[in-house]
Amino acid sequence: MPAAPRGLMSRTLARTARSIARNVLPPGVVKLVRATTRRIRRAEMPDWEYLPGGWPDESKHLRGWDSESVASTQLSRWAAFVDSANGADPFGRSHESAVADLDYALHNTVMSFAYVLARAAYKRDRLSVLDWGGGIGHYYVYARALMPDLVLDYTCFDLPSLAEGGRSVLPQVSFPTSEEAALSRRYDLVVASSSLQYSQDWRAKLAGLANVCDGYVYVTRQPFVQHAPSFVVVQHPYRHGYATEYPGWFLNEGEFLGFAVELGLTLVREFLIQERPPVPNAPEQADYRGFLFVAPQPAGGESGQSRPRA
């Protein structure tokens, strides 16, 4: 009788060991072993993974951003984040990091947002903002620190667990419960920071955002490649305290800008963010960038606002 393949024998032995453990060890010990095993696997897993098959279907069981661990982790770091944003230190403390080291990419991100905010608020004392995928409202805190005299009509849309967390710390910000509610009105500035790439149909999302904007559309912290066609990756953000994983697009910059032109968006300025996550075996390594656009004027001048100049 031929010997069984080594891989098959290993898997059989592993299943046998797990069966013995379940039957012999106390439930508490089994639970502890499972948790330890998961932590070891996560520690060995790279932060980023290339998905050559494109956007994953439900069989991949990716939990996505609507994970309680994301909201609870961000809330646990909220007080330290607010203190850093409102003090005299550089804008360099990431709300997604457990360490207090200054992050130059984050500082660049916030200073780029300052330019966008000032441009959108030019000759205004009040600004309506839609922060798409804004988590629990970090950009609102930045906006208040950057332009404290500006009156903000601020709407932050995100998934239910994050919106609930946001309402608990920023009652002055609107956190709509649905996309339809968030897109039911018009805004002077629409911001999508590190959010557009997590929509499978990113084109439809960008079109929807442009459609409700009377001023500027700002897409930032978006990973772009220059040569390869757009492709999909999955991020394993375990080191940030997030017990989840989520797929996202690394978009071809030309493809993205070409679609923006189709929507009638006029490019004002490109921003370099500095983030460059290494993705093993990816067709091309991406870097994070931002783009500020002037939105097309509504037909018939519905908003009553003058069109900002590009």
| pLDDT over threshold 70, residue 18 | no
pLDDT for 96 equals 65
| pLDDT over threshold 50, residue 35 | no
| pLDDT over threshold 60, residue 4 | no
Helix (H, G, I), strand (E, B) or coil at 152: strand
pLDDT for 70 equals 80
| pLDDT over threshold 70, residue 305 | no
Closest by CA position to 84, among listed 33, 145, 36: 145
Structure tokens belonging to residue 135: 């988590």
Q: How confident is the model at residue 246 (pLDDT cuts 50, 70, 90)?
A: confident
Helix (H, G, I), strand (E, B) or coil at 262: helix
Residue 310 to residue 308: CA distance in whole angstroms? 7
pLDDT for 22 equals 58
pLDDT for 301 equals 53
Helix (H) or strand (E) holding 230: none
pLDDT for 63 equals 64
| pLDDT over threshold 90, residue 71 | no
Residue 167 to residue 195: CA distance in whole angstroms? 19
Which one has a higher pLDDT value, 306 or 293? 293
Residue 147 to residue 187: CA distance in whole angstroms? 18
Q: How confident is the model at residue 299 (pLDDT cuts 50, 70, 90)?
A: low
Q: Kindly report, residue by residue over 177-206, the tens digit of the pLDDT.
A: 999 999 999 999 999 999 999 999 999 999
Structure tokens belonging to residue 253: 């910059």
- Phi/psi for 72 (5° steps) reads -65, -35
How high is the mean pLDDT of the chain?
84
User: Rounded to two decimals, what is the model's pTM?
Assistant: 0.81
| pLDDT over threshold 50, residue 53 | yes
| pLDDT over threshold 90, residue 13 | no
Q: What is the rounded radius of gyration, in angstroms, for the C-alpha atoms of the chain?
A: 22
Helix (H) or strand (E) holding 131: strand 126-132
User: To the nearest whole percent, how much of the chain has pLDDT over 90?
Assistant: 59
pLDDT for 309 equals 64
Segment 151-160 mean pLDDT: 96
Q: Kindly report, residue by residue over 111-151, the tens digit of the pLDDT.
A: 999 999 999 999 999 999 999 999 999 999 999 999 999 99
pLDDT for 50 equals 97
What is the 3-state composition of the chain as percent helix, strand, coil, each rounded to the nearest 5? 40, 20, 40
Residue 133 DSSP label: T
Q: How confident is the model at residue 34 (pLDDT cuts 50, 70, 90)?
A: very low
pLDDT for 236 equals 86
Q: How many CA atoms lie within 13 A of 188 on its CB side?
A: 22
pLDDT for 304 equals 44
For 46-57, b/e burial (b = at least 16 CB within 10 A) is ebbbbbeeeeee
Closest by CA position to 250, among listed 274, 275, 276, 232: 232
Structure tokens belonging to residue 183: 């897109």
Residue 37 to residue 40: CA distance in whole angstroms? 5
The string of DSSP letters for 157-220 reads E--HHHHHHHHHH-TTSB--SSHHHHTSS-EEEEEEES-GGG-TTHHHHHHHHHHTEEEEEEEE
| pLDDT over threshold 50, residue 207 | yes
157 CB burial (10 A radius; 0-12, 13-18, 19+): buried
Contacts of residues 161-166 at CB distance under 8 Å and 24 or more positions apart, as own/partner, are 161/66, 161/67, 161/68, 161/70, 161/71, 162/65, 162/66, 162/70, 162/71, 162/74, 162/135, 162/136, 164/71, 165/71, 165/72, 165/74, 165/75, 165/136, 166/134, 166/135, 166/136, 166/137
Which one has a higher pLDDT value, 121 or 9? 121
Q: How confident is the model at residue 33 (pLDDT cuts 50, 70, 90)?
A: very low
Q: How confident is the model at residue 171 (pLDDT cuts 50, 70, 90)?
A: very high
pLDDT for 28 equals 57
Q: Which residue has the tokens 């200054």?
A: 102
CATH topology for 60-294 is Rossmann fold (3.40.50)
